[in-house]
Structure 1
């Protein structure tokens, strides 16, 4: 038995106290006034000094008065008795740990039954209650764990405030600590049995709420906030219920959930996930779960939710990560605005061109053939006839991201110096200067650009607007510079806005050009002999000619044809025979018929007798 002035050796988990000098016995302790012969060499230490009870590697919670490891023992001045007592040590405060679990040690707790210890603690903490996890006797001490920081704090301050039936005050030591665990086959089998009773086969739902508190797991530490335990649980789920659709992980002290990304490939059918009342700090922590096709999510009770002062912003940000959500935190969400399609719907095949009206196909072919034949020639001056008097043109150019600009063939100096990139040119006068207005400025500007040869067969063309009053034509493609060393290949995007002119024809009123370097794929396919889809300009188009001599026309079949015939006659001035002829040639497509009439009229190909009524 240690002497009163001696030191208590460090307490190990399997150690026990040989003698409890606090217990009553028939032999009363003798009081001695003998002078201390140790001359102050030994410090007085309480049997209840918490520093003697801390295990290696555990976190000191800042014990209450007398429990700290730096507590100095009482010693009189010069080692003599009778000197004034030192000032009492300041009472230390409870410091919450980083982990959500706390170990509670009751020295000499083995003297009392488990129910007695827990009853006096619950009585002291009333009305609060707690669940003692993994209660056991270790030597002469009772040890258990709690998973609530508020309960841990109250137990911390309960030290020496509870008087037991033997008259001694109960010592309570609280420290931030997590039970040790070894995941073996025996533990996995117990986890599997606990999950089996929590699984609802009818709804394919598994409820793992507060899994560590399951009565069937009372003898093992099975907290899902430990990544190794969570991963073991996911493996069990994937092996036994791979078609799981709903999983409840509420109240499991989850913090970092990066490791939960393993659920995405293993639980592909998971649509409902509950993560409420955990410790997830930020919404960004949910990114590993984005591949899951979730339709319902519960996050209430996590610190991340409190970070949003505006609930609408919170809902919006969650929906950005999980666009298929229809229910969040137990509340139905309004229908999302989007263009999402079901997984079973196959997208239409990729096409090289799109025409809002097939009647414009002939016009598009003619325009592209004629325009780029002149553009790729030695002189671009004939393009003056293609532009309106007040036409405008702007050109922008930039390099591709990650492009090797130092390569001579990739330099875009001829375009960058004239680029009207409004993201970089912010001064109003400069923007105006780079905008070419009037057909003389437009054609002069185009004439100064490098000579080219366009790959007409590789054009991707869209015709989004086709009306008698306006045509919008956009295209992507590649061209080769013919007067530059190495004949570099460039990629371009161009938009033309075309309107009728006073001569019965059409003119370009707006031209927007963008030039950059080609990608490797574009360069490898440039000027190839064929394309997978029918090209918009496979060959020079044939102009639809109006017949020279009118032929007998069949009777009209419905009121709609009669109405189109009257409208075309009023707008063109042609007689009924020629109007019917024009409509029949275009398959009774009024817009196409009017368009072709204007084109042929501008070329002088409609005879005078077509206007004789």
Structure 2
């Protein structure tokens, strides 16, 4: 359809005249009935998507919805309306935009304000988009697949979801569908505010945002009002800002209901699935995750370690080795005495007879040894889990990671330790696996291990006193201890935690330790 230029049309093709023309014709911008024509010069042979993407990149983050794209000899043109900010930005750039195919030859633009009216050209994008949405919707799985949406051959206009207005428009239309799984991957999306159009959609639980341009976790805050349990973020710039120890926690802060991230199951109990695995048989992952969660959750509750008795086969064997690592940040405060007392390091034993004595046999004796070891808290985000063998009869599992000893003594230094546990599990007549052999190796943590430990999840001590106070009340008590004792915030908090946030008891403890000069200088450092 050929359009005739309206009598109100104003041509802008001189960069020097842009500012004055825009001011004099400001009323044309705010009139939604006018179509403005933007022409890209000297672009023969270049695909529509490349040209329009170049324009949209140039006006980002402003909105512009291009329609009625046409090739005119060596030029190309399209229409747009309600785009005052976008046109102003193009004029600020002197009507030049970057050419992604040749950095030395930018595209030159010209603009005709009020080229035509909506009476002369009526464009119904909605019917076409609805048709494409229905085509991409799977009613069986309740999945709406909008992956690389703008490339859909049935779209009549350039519907690129990186434009917030277009994304909002498309998502709003999709509310007529029952969507549980929404795929928005490969759309160059950087702004997620249009997702608010889905607020109130209770069915949506899975969102795929892979390979977009989301630069910050804060951009995901908009998702907190949705019930997203399964989220994919691989391939976004924000992923480069975190290591595996902080990535999950950062996402959970803005998406508290998340259960699965980038295909990895996150345990809602606070004991996460393990991110760094070698599994000789991937089908065993759920079983291994369940075993790990069960074992370490019980082990980290010293008073409950006797419950591990049933996990060990009656005639199981168990041994411990330990090694002191020099030159590490943990070396100065390292103490491996509880482990060396029962260690079976054959090369370092002065009495080789103890090599047999320290090979513990029988599940009851194993539990007795375990109960005598210090109370611990493991950091599952540091775990490396290697499933070396998995058959119907036997499982060989190696776990490396970090834990810390939980001392009841406030003045005791925090000890971060590294460990390797090698489990051999055998199946009994009831096809239930039991530990038939375990080797535990303990050392002081390396400098890197200490730096990374407990950066994601700090499991609170399980006691009735701590849970009875709100975070605001705890903060007030920490401030009170700081004021009375002149200790810094960290040590004031530590003092209260030792006394389960019993303020009088915490102050009494401080006085007792202060009298015997048993509070380190660092407690008073600001």
TM over 0.5: no
Q: Which has the higher strand share?
A: 2
Q: RCO higher in 1 or 2 (8 Å CA, sep ≥ 6)?
A: 2
- Give me the TM-score of the superposition, normalised by structure 1: 0.32
Larger radius of gyration: 1
Higher helix share: 2
